[in-house]
Amino acid sequence: MPDVGPLLKHWRGARRLSQLALAVEAAVSVRHLSFVETGRANPSRAMVLKLAEVLDVPLRERNTLLLSAGFSPEYPESALDAPALAAVREALETVLAQQEPFPALVIDRSWDIRHTNTAARRFFAYLQDGQPGNPPGPANVLRRMFHPDGVRQHVTNWLEVAEALVRRARREAIGGAVDERAQRILDEVLDYPGVPSHLRVVDVTAPVLPIVPIRYERGDRRFEYFSMVTTLGTPQDVTLQELRIECFFPMNDETREHARELAERSGK
């Protein structure tokens, strides 16, 4: 495991703060901060937590900072079905249910789909009905969108959506942290057949449109959705901080009507 000094320096660089600016915000001397970053001084547990708070380091990486400094982790990483998270699960279910008859997903920072509402299960089952296979591994947004056995063939503006997803996957890493599993999945999906090679070098700093709709088509039905991503406020658990709730909203009456037709046909 790397020393805490270089890790703190990395996060200071990611937040584009000078040593002076960080020292002022954290109420420490510039000299001591410099010594910590270069390994000439060992920070206390309280100082590590204070610097991490000022730098807005994600909870998982705060634990890494503590371990690198020789301390035990501060923040738990609970299973989503743990009794302590019962209230959060209830809140997630409420949000998902309220989104009916339009799709909604709960995803983690590796883009794995942790929960869905009935509309999402119904919609994606409709799109993939009759297909010979499914994308490999656990249900994952990136694999579902990029794999030939996913929904790619039904997305009429797939290239536009794929580029937006690559940008988001690279820019939306929580707090600037690199998730190794998410990066491996992104590398994997970019190697799928039919994925243009230029998506590997998407300029993530280029300006993007405010909303990139996803246009699906199967048979005589067309759906056009945009999504809204929600996070939990003030989480103190690694699992909760890394959750994203993605709700899909119709962009036109045709989509509303078809979503309601699917719901009525399924009786749910």
Across the range 204-229, mean pLDDT stands at 86
pLDDT of amino acid 14? 87
Across the chain, the runs of DSSP E, i.e. the strands, are 104-107, 113-116, 214-218, 221-230, 244-250
pTM: 0.87
The span from the CA of 28 to the CA of 21, in Å, is 10
pLDDT digits 0-9 by tens, 220-235: 999 999 999 999 998 9
230 - beta bridge partners?
Answer: 245
Across 108-167, the runs of DSSP E, i.e. the strands, are 113-116
Q: Which has the minimum average pLDDT: 71-75, 207-211, 223-227?
A: 207-211
**Per-residue buried b or exposed e for 195-211, using 16+ beta carbons within 10 Å of the residue's own CB:** beeebeebeeeeeeeee
